[in-house]
Amino acid sequence: MRYFSYLLALFAGAALSFEGAIYGELGKTIGQLETSFYNFLMGSIIMVLLWLFFGKGRLSYAIEAPKWSLLGGVLGVVYLTSIVVSVPFVGVGITMVAVIIGQLVMSMIIEHYGWLGSKKTRINREKIFAVMSMIIALILVN
């Protein structure tokens, strides 16, 4: 299952690059906020269909969930809209590398402190070196 998870994450990363390129272009045609809205509208329609046919959870229990855990939707809008705005200016590659750097830095901080229910994992030299290498790559590619 672990290797399947790696492959799934690689697939998700590839899909995000395609999405960034597609929505960067769509944003030029219909507008950046309109593109973000279109994404979430289409995603909502697809998710409603999947939920109706395959859903086994209890959506009504969302009111019982910790309030901070409901912020994911807001962060999704910030994430996608930032990509739609960035891609036309700096390109898909640089945008995705910057996104990955942001994900690495924030995930290191979250895990270091054990925030949001994550397992505590200390920041070490290797992790800092990896992030610095990514930042150098971003500068060199740019």
pLDDT of residue 36: 94
pLDDT of residue 6: 85
> Which residue do the tokens 């999704």 mark?
76
Q: DSSP secondary-structure letter at 57?
A: S
pLDDT of residue 62: 87
Q: Answer whether 0.85 is exceeded by the pTM.
A: no
64-72 LR contacts (CB < 8 Å, sep 24+): 68/116
User: Which tokens go with 52?
Assistant: 């109706």
- 78-136 per-position pLDDT tens digit: 999 999 999 999 999 899 999 999 999 999 999 999 999 899 999 999 999 999 999 99
Q: How far apart are CA 6 and CA 102, in angstroms?
A: 20
pLDDT of residue 2: 84
Buried b (16+ CB within 10 A) or exposed e, 114-133: eeeeeeeeeeeeebeeebee
Contacts for 112 with CB less than 8 Å, ≥ 6 apart: 120, 121, 122, 123
**Average pLDDT, stretch 50-70?**
90
- 24-49 per-position pLDDT tens digit: 999 999 999 999 999 999 999 999 99
